[in-house]
Amino acid sequence: MSDPLLFTPGPLTTSAKVKAAMQRDVGSRDSEFIGIVAEIRSELLRIGGVSKEAGYEAVPMQGSGTFAIEAVLSSVIPPDGRLLVLANGAYGERIRQIAERLKIAVSINRWPEDESPNVVTVWRLLRQQPRPTHVAIVHLETTTGILNPIDEIGAVVREHGCRFIVDAMSSFGGVALDLAALPVDYLVSSANKCLEGVPGFSFVITRRGALQESAGWARSVSLDLLAQFEALESNGQFRFTPPTHALLAFAQALAELREEGGVPARAERFRRNREALLPGMRQLGFREYLKPECQSDIITSFRFPEDAAFEFAKFYRRLAERGFVIYPGKVSHADCFRIGTIGRLSVGDVNGLIAAIERVLTEMNVQRVS
């Protein structure tokens, strides 16, 4: 039986060549592997629209995306620093949770899950005493699929002299982003989202100056971002065992991104996928949770139908049996499920999913309200 198609925010459907690239064993201290890691680091900067010469560095970190978020928070905030988290979903809440566990002075400002942080409020928050030294936000809140305006908010953060931390886990590589034009000091993402690699590592794209100012602040050995950077710079190697197979797969995934035409072409494929998804879902009676103007093309939250015959667990299972894996909801106050439109998926795959949803609704006797 072939693998199901993953309509999720990651790990997601990867190409046959990405999976095949892992069919090798390479030495982590071998020059071939060191060359691959160096190339990956340069390519990540290119994707972000920046370069080493312009003062940026890409630092890969073992572990899933949360590990790189924790690496940034535990490494770059000084002992007397203060973090302000701007949150409109579960991943903003996770940033607060990590900071609290690390005993960092943190405050959180929450917006409704269907609204982005408002720049005027942020401006006011940044003037309150004691002033924050660092501000963190999620670019694309995967809880709902909302895209937050990091450009406007970043400008206000910069105006107040704070460092800006951006969780771009589910946007980097799938949403056009020019880091050279954005006041972002630390951007975090991972291998298995829009870049279509496999899970195993995450990475931080950072201004070298912002990273180097953090000497002596790290609260962890394995997640010490500056130490990781310094090791990679000194001998090209990870400090501790790297996920060699995941990095080989990632090198192939980056080659496929280039072949596709880079981030603009990939963003366009994701846009077409979502454009195919919406009318199909609406015709079946589903309604999106977010207003169209704040919705991204990466993942969409749909409200449960009002019909009592709709049972999410059964709906999910029956779709999975047909080879389509969707994603449960994460919105805190509304019953929703989510459908991701990223990964090696095409409009044909989306149409296949809609046809399967239609059959499952009929089997479950769910009334359609159009």
Ligand X SMILES: Cc1ncc(COP(=O)(O)O)c(C=O)c1O
Look at the block and give the residue holding tokens 């090198």.
251
Rule CB under 6 A: choose which of 74, 88, 148, 170 binds ligand X.
170
Q: For the chain, give the longest Cα–Cα distance.
A: 63
Q: Which long-range contacts (CB under 8 A, 24 or more apart) does 326-331 make?
A: 326/7, 326/8, 326/353, 327/7, 327/8, 327/9, 327/299, 329/301, 330/89, 330/90, 330/142, 330/143, 330/144, 331/113, 331/143, 331/144, 331/289, 331/301
Q: Which residue is nearest to ligand X (CB)?
A: 65
3-state secondary structure of 336: strand
CB 253 within 8 A of CB 196: yes
CB of 218 to ligand X, least distance (A): 20
CB of 9 to ligand X, least distance (A): 5
Q: Taking CB under 6 A as the rule, does residue 342 contact ligand X? A: no
What residues numbered 37-76 form the site for ligand X, per CB under 6 A? 64-66
Pattern 199-238, binding to ligand X, x per CB under 6 A? ----------------------------------------
Parallel, antiparallel, or unpaired: how do β-strands 163-167 and 186-190 relate? parallel
Q: Name the amino acid, one letter, at 116.
A: S
Q: Taking CB under 6 A as the rule, does residue 343 contact ligand X? A: no
Element (H, E) at 369: none
Q: Taking CB under 6 A as the rule, does residue 13 contact ligand X? A: no
Which CB, 34 or 143, lies closer to ligand X?
143
Q: Taking CB under 6 A as the rule, does residue 300 contact ligand X? A: no
CA 258 vs CA 13, 39, 312: distances in Å: 18, 13, 38
Q: Taking CB under 6 A as the rule, does residue 164 contact ligand X? A: no
Q: Taking CB under 6 A as the rule, does residue 8 contact ligand X? A: no
Which CB, 92 or 305, lies closer to ligand X?
92
Which CB, 170 or 244, lies closer to ligand X?
170
The Cα–Cα gap between 63 and 68 comes to 7
The two three-digit tokens of residue 50, written as one number: 């920046």
The Cα–Cα gap between 206 and 188 comes to 9
Which CB, 170 or 356, lies closer to ligand X?
170
3-state secondary structure of 262: helix
CB of 19 to ligand X, least distance (A): 19
Q: Taking CB under 6 A as the rule, does residue 85 contact ligand X? A: no
Q: Taking CB under 6 A as the rule, does residue 91 contact ligand X? A: yes
Q: Taking CB under 6 A as the rule, does residue 14 contact ligand X? A: no
Pattern 110-139, binding to ligand X, x per CB under 6 A? ----------------------------x-
Rule CB under 6 A: choose which of 144, 190, 300, 301 binds ligand X.
190
Is the torsion defined by CA of 111, 116, 121, 127 positive or negative?
Answer: positive
Rule CB under 6 A: choose which of 169, 195, 263, 353 binds ligand X.
169
Element (H, E) at 35: helix 31-47
Q: Which residues bind ligand X (CB under 6 A)?
A: 9, 64-66, 91, 138, 142, 167, 169-170, 190
